[in-house]
Amino acid sequence: MKILALLKRVPDTEAKILINTEGTGIKNDGIKYVINTYDEYAVEEALRLREKAGGDSKVTVLCMGPEEATELVRTALAMGADDAVHVRDAALAAPDPFVSAAVLAKAANDEGFDIIFCGKQAIDDDMGQIHSIMAEMLDIPQVNVATGFEISADLKKATVRRRIEGGDERVETSLPAIVSCEKGLNEPRYASLPGIMKAKKKEIRAKTLADLGFGALPSPARSAIVRWVPLPKSTGCMMVQAEETRAAVRELVRLLREEAKIL
């Protein structure tokens, strides 16, 4: 089987995000970048499927992002993926989901695939659209927010489990298809030290928009981010202080009644 796993470079979940003064993006200094958490589940599921499918099955990581994303692609190779395609182009500095999906769909098509795994959303902009737009463009079924995955014995069909209110939904899909992954699907493996050494020899094919056959940006973006605006500063809390608890409570009740007017 030819298995694709999509990977996006995003700020570390622990990073403190600040909007830059121009309102065009976030302050980059001191921010660590990591593989999008949900994409880690996608890579892991791709590796598990390869082990099950056997034969000459192969996992290719597909990433669109700046040059700095190479290290994260390499990390996925260290986890065990076979090779990677890294689409990077200055024109793709801030693509909208439609453009991203068009580029990724073309790259996936060029590569050929039986199944595509990706995260259910990227944890940076939380758009969660790529898999659905790609599925439409590639004209293949999509099953989203997967918490379980099983392949049929003949490798032609998959059963995907989705967690819904009060139970699980089992969706059977023909292949090729795109499956977006949710937390709980699996426990992603670490990039082992031997894996890191092996990954150095694995191929990462860098591609530009021109390499993918696009003259300019694939199609006009459908949306644009106008401005990034920081949240208004919270008005903060007031500490009620008094020598005695009894006095503090009396003061608190007075404030709730007279200032906040909720009593």
Partner 1 sequence: MKYPLIEEERMIQKTARDFARKELAPVAVEANEKGFFPEAIYRKMGELGFMGITMPDEYGGVNLGNFCLVLALEEISAVCASTGVTMSVHNSLTNWCILKYASEELRARLLPRLTSGEMLGAYAITESEAGSDVTAIRLSAVRKGNEYLLNGAKILISTGDTAGAIIVFARTDPHDRTKGVSAFVVEPSFEGFSIGKVEKKMGLKASRTVELVFEDCRVPAGNLLGAEGMGLKIAFGGLDGGRIGIAAQSLGIAQAALDEGVRFSRERRQFHTRIVDFQSTRWKIADMATALEAARLLTYRAAKLRDAGETCSKESSMAKLFASRTANSIVYDALQMHGGVGYTEEFLIERLFRDARVTELYEGTSEIQRLVISKAVIEEYERSIPD
Judged by CB under 8 A, the stretch of 88-96, 114-122, 136-144, 196-204 that binds partner 1 is 196-204
Contact in structure between 130 and 94 (CB atoms under 8 Å): no
> Cα–Cα distances in Å, from 56 out to 1, 50, 257?
7, 9, 73
The identity of residue 30, as a single letter, is G
Judged by CB under 8 A, the stretch of 69-77, 106-114, 144-152, 157-165 that binds partner 1 is 69-77
Cα distance between residue 106 and residue 153, in whole Å: 29
Q: Considering beta carbons, is residue 5 or 212 the nearer one to partner 1?
A: 5
Q: Considering beta carbons, is residue 198 or 205 the nearer one to partner 1?
A: 198
Answer yes or no whether residue 36 interacts with partner 1 by CB under 8 A.
Answer: no
* CB neighbour class for 137 (10 Å; exposed up to 12, middle 13-18, buried from 19): middle
- Torsion angle defined by CA atoms of residues 109, 59, 120 and 136, in that order, rounded to the nearest 10 degrees: 20
Answer yes or no whether residue 50 interacts with partner 1 by CB under 8 A.
Answer: no
Contact in structure between 187 and 204 (CB atoms under 8 Å): no
Answer yes or no whether residue 194 interacts with partner 1 by CB under 8 A.
Answer: yes
Q: Considering beta carbons, is residue 31 or 197 the nearer one to partner 1?
A: 197
How many binding residues for partner 1 (CB under 8 A)? 13
Report the 10 Å Cβ neighbour count for 107. 22
Contact in structure between 180 and 162 (CB atoms under 8 Å): no
Pick from 8, 50, 74, 86: which binds partner 1 (CB under 8 A)?
A: 74
- Torsion angle defined by CA atoms of residues 59, 63, 68 and 72, in that order, rounded to the nearest 10 degrees: -40
Judged by CB under 8 A, the stretch of 55-63, 72-80, 177-185, 255-263 that binds partner 1 is 72-80
Pick from 16, 200, 201, 246: which binds partner 1 (CB under 8 A)?
A: 200
Pick from 193, 231, 260, 262: which binds partner 1 (CB under 8 A)?
A: 193
Judged by CB under 8 A, the stretch of 2-10, 48-56, 68-76, 80-88 that binds partner 1 is 68-76
Answer yes or no whether residue 240 interacts with partner 1 by CB under 8 A.
Answer: no
- Interface residues with partner 1 (CB under 8 A)? 71, 74-75, 78, 190-197, 200
